[in-house]
Structure 1
Amino acid sequence: MNAEVGQGKGVGLSFRLDAEAGALFASVRPDPAAVPIDEAWLRARLAEEGYGTLRYHPMAITGLLAQYNSGAAVAALKLGECVDASFSIAIAPDGLQALLTIVPAQGGRPVAQEAVFAELAARGVTEGILPEAITRAIAAGMADGVAVARGRPAVPGENGRLESVLPEARSRVPHLNASGQTDYRDLGDILSVAPGQPLMVRRAATAGTPGVTVFGQAIPAHPGKEVAFAAKLNGAQPDPEDPDRLLAEVAGQPVVVAGGMIVEQVYTVAEVNMATGNVSFDGSVVVRGDVAAGMTIRASGDIQIGGTADPCVLEAGGSISIKGGALGGLGRKEHADSLIRCGGTFTAAFAQQARIEAGDSIFIDDMAMQCDLAAGNHIRVGNKRRGHIIGGRALATLSISGKVLGSPNRIATNLEVGVSPATHKRMHELAKTRDGKEKQLLDISKLLAFAGHNPGRVDPAMVERARNTAKVLADEIQALRDEEQSLAELVARSQQARVTAEQVLHEGVNVQMGTLHYSVSGEHGAAAIGLNDGVLGLLAAGDSPSP
């Protein structure tokens, strides 16, 4: 095929495509009427002639322009060539995908669909081939890692779980979201169950679903981890006819704990005063009215008070809820030993001069005035009412918040967030204990390995005891690791701890976080105090504290 291009520009210039060689040749017959040409003009004319997609040799184009513009003759200069499209197939490292890459043709032939299928077969790909994806990629003329075959990943089994059939049951197992936040909550009335009433069911772990690679090879699924009811659950036992069901043994309050649910007996009294005497009960205590000054209530479960608690001692293994308020003895000699302490959450309408310690969080609706508050996670004052924290001291690991912090007359209000030294001490103790148990397990594993390689050399009874001990140690080590991980996550979240005033922040508020200290100067509207680039101070709107 020959083509002579243009008049004036390109006079004497012609092209010839050698189909057999797959190459484009240019020739020049010198002509006095020829006008100089440049590369842009030449490429435009090549495109017009249908040669625009070929692969050109830059030096050949430069040489052709030089010779044409100088009036030199050119017999047959190889200007470019036809290049067929090429393709390659890569297999993902996990064997779950075959990926097609197509390098576009340059004037040559496109990739043939049959060639792609043949290459897949040659690579041993037999599973999950996607013909439509192959067709689309070939039609587009190019592809960059397009999946043309997909295997099926294995789906791991679900872990076994213990499911409450009493959705209202209280939980003694902390439930925090990823940011460590909990909700303000009213514990409400105590739920009761009767003997023989179902409490929980155990859902068995599932085996999972096996997968398959693009080569047709099976991928085994990891089965879920089984879960069992704890060996001892006070007031509850597995159903003799169905070991996957937990029943109440006694009447009382159901409480979710690690490994199942317990049933605590509930002691109810109209009020606690000199006439009733102090209360000490293995279970939960409900006081419908008030608790008089100087009285003591100790319960292994929850304490719920329908009225007000005057300066007294309240100690609960679970949570404490006071519908009215809590009055303490801080600054008063006659009630200096008054204390409210619980392992779970404390809630009240208000608190004044009270010393309150909660393993989880403290929620006060109206006001906390001149109190000494300490909570494992959060302190929040203010829900539907005023929400003032005035004077005293408050310590919480993750957050302290109120609508108004401090007062206009600059009463010293000391707030502290972050993990306590006791938490770091506990982490150290856990690591030390785990190391000791891991050493014991290693020694027992050596004994079992020796027994396995030397049948009859070790007493079978000793081997059985060693196996049982190894199982117990492995479970204990896992429990220690779980607690270490929880504490490590708590320490990490505590770096994001903040003190928040939702409406007003007054001068006189002092914030402590580890060795860092910040004193509020002047009065502010809504404000937050936390770490930002390692500095403790006021955070700008929209800032997030950073470690």
Structure 2
Amino acid sequence: MASQSDVKISVTVSPDELKAFITLFPGEENSGVSRADIVSALQGQRIVYGIREDVIDACCSNPIYNESICVAEGLPAQNGRNGSVNYHFDTTVDKTPTVLEDGRINYRELNLIQSVKQGQLLCTVVPPVMGIQGMTVKGKPIPAVNGKPAVLPRGKNVHSSEDGQSLYASTDGEVEYLDTTKVSVYTNHEIPADVDNSTGNINFVGSVIIKGNVLSGFSVEAGGNVEIYGVVEGATIRAGGNIILRRGMQGMGKGTLIAGGDIVARYIEYSNVEAQNNIQSEAVMHSNVKCGNKLELTGRKGLLVGGTCKVGKIIVAKVIGSHMATVTDLEVGTDPTVRERYKQVKEELTSGESDVKKADQAITILKKLEGMGALTPDKQEILTKSVRTKIYLSSRLEELKREMLVLDEKLQMEVSGKVRCLNTIYPGVKVTIGTCMMYVKESLQYCTLYRDGADIRVGAVDR
């Protein structure tokens, strides 16, 4: 485009119309260029947005010829950002074992299960970011793409917040992130094979189902039930509910079963077993058994031999002991947990009373020094601590004495235990019911042992 001076101005626009350029071509007189000339040239090409006034001023005061100069810039559109989901648990399970301080690799603590509690926050939605419209140098709007909202990955046993922006667990269980689209909580955790180095120890708030064996040295802890299809070796199984062993346990002297409910197993050998309620099996051999209610050994063998059994109410078995006079110690009529707590409280009482005496002696000596005016700051601090200790211990002793009375009442009441034999009790068996004791010296058959006053009697099997 020609100007009023002899300088020619050429205006070009980039294909996306985001930049406009001018090129100055000198005339014969080289009379320079004015602002009006440049503005007029831009208007001729409909350049109205993003004009750089500083560039125009520079071209007027110090023109550069035969060179393309950017004189206007548009505004590119800014596309929005899609919404996303923030997960408040680990969505990638790392099966790499941890390396211990001494360099050994710990294959047992793999932490492959992510347990969550009811009401726990699982994930939150991050809202999308809207796009920002752009503008060409010719004043044409450039549309922007808005971000899309994220979808809450709602699966099973989860619920969303009222605003639909957060996801919570509806129950205790294992959280799983499936196919990157669903977050679910499962109350059961199933292990398709053995509990070994590939799984590590199991710790889960719900119930655990193990289709294989549990190898020695590993542990399974569950807030619910534990069901094991294979054999349990020298492992530790703890359940808040029931423990069900489809086969049995070969504990090798270190295997442990602890259940808040019942224990059901085909057989139990050389193990430590504790159930708050009942234990049912075909055979219990050379094991230490504690059971709050009933120990029942039926089925084909119905065998109870070796070890010790402390049972709250009744032991029912076909065969107790063996013809080799294997030492078998039975104690019924008292909940073993009550008896053990009684023993703990008694020991704590004795220890506490001894500590109170020591505190009294220290206070007496220090008080004498105080009366003589010979109490140093260090001894003053010891006196203060001794007085505090005595106050705390006295209060604790009162609590223990009250608990002791309650436990003592329970022990006095629960003396109605029985041992029912559906076949033979062999010599070598020791039976304790409450405070009464009896050693079986000759084989007994089809009978019930029960307490009568200060003695243990042998009665009919269905008594």
Compare relative contact order (CA 8 Å, sep 6+) and give the higher one, 1 or 2.
Answer: 2
Q: Same fold (TM over 0.5)?
A: no
Structure showing greater Rg: 2
The structure with the largest strand share of the pair is 2
TM-score, with structure 2 as normaliser: 0.45
